[in-house]
Amino acid sequence: MPWMPLVLVSSDAFERHLTPPGHPERPERAHVFDAVATAWRAGGGEVRAPRPATIAELAAVHDRDHLERIAGTSGRAAMLDPDTFTSPESYQLARLAAGATLVGVDHAMAGGGPALVLVRPPGHHAERDKAMGFCLFNNAAVAAAYGRAKGASRVAVVDIDVHHGNGTQQIFEDDPAVLYVSTHQYPCYPGTGAVTEVGLGEGRGRTVNVPIEPGAGDDDYTQVLAEVVVPVLTAFAADLVILSVGYDAHVQDPLAQMQVTTAGYRAMLATLRATAEAVSGGRLVVVTEGGYDLPALGACLDATVEVLAAPAGSAAPAASAAAPRASGPGIRGREAVAAALAVQRPFWPLV
């Protein structure tokens, strides 16, 4: 397959979504995004401006009442729950964040190569009718529904944030055309994502949860991807792959207890990009979720850019042999794989 150029979708407007002092999802995260986009542009790469998602595009995954509640916060600060806040421009910025993913989908669906979408507020906790977990609208879900409308018969959303994407799962849990796969620390916020949650009705088997105990490192995640995520993703054969990428499984992140290194993230992204090349012709959109240690976030985003910008077919770099592994090599990964396969084999007999 010929090399296809990476496009970034970014805007400094995301700095204007304000949260209370001390909140982990703070405007400085957008400064990191801006630095990554500026460096990419300075090196000759393309950075596209986002557009706001329309009400109809948001309504494909959110109830009208929810859209009206968030719109009602326009021009003021509001606390939606103990973790989730708006500021005067947050409604418009949340629409812009969701719409940014659609710019990425347009690029990927046109065969232009992968897209990296740098946005806040994040999205994967937002349910059909509720904002929560720092999230107002579900960016990845809006992108998945838009991809379907643009001709993708099957869409896969792979979520490697350290927290379970309860919103994305809820929105698509009865839809056989959307695969949702999540690796996440368990137990952890929001408390969902048990291995037995496999979807509802016609969507049974299209939700694949791989909960992992705290303390997992690079080797654990490598095993989970190799033995569960990649086989399921390959069998599903999506026309479009969307990655909800939170960098909060990093060893330096303050909100969880995982031990993944920057090299581990590089390896995960390389594996998932290679799988998207094989199953979807490279139609891949990566959208940011969590990641709250600023230096780790910047380093991981730099690694993500390097992986997505490399010529198609490049070998996946190995995770660092010096990665910290509080559990011992692979113990948590082996347990997570065994539990997930025991539940999922009736739906995916080849895994």
d(CA 192, CA 282): 31
d(CA 327, CA 193): 21
> Coil, strand or helix: which one is 281?
coil
Relative to beta strand 84-86, strand 115-117 is unpaired
> Coil, strand or helix: which one is 220?
helix
Element (H, E) at 81: strand 78-81
DSSP symbol at 162: S
The verdict on whether 125 is a catalytic residue reads: yes
Q: Write out the E strands in 160-247.
A: 178-185, 207-212, 240-245
Element (H, E) at 180: strand 178-185
- Per the CB < 8 A criterion, the answer to whether 17 and 7 are in contact is no
Maximum pairwise Cα distance, the chain: 52
In this structure, is the dihedral angle defined by the CA atoms of residues 258, 263, 268 and 273, taken in order, positive or negative? positive
- Per the CB < 8 A criterion, the answer to whether 301 and 245 are in contact is no
> Coil, strand or helix: which one is 160?
coil
User: Of the listed 66, 124, 125, 250, which one is catalytic?
Assistant: 125
Q: Which residues are the active-site residues?
A: 125
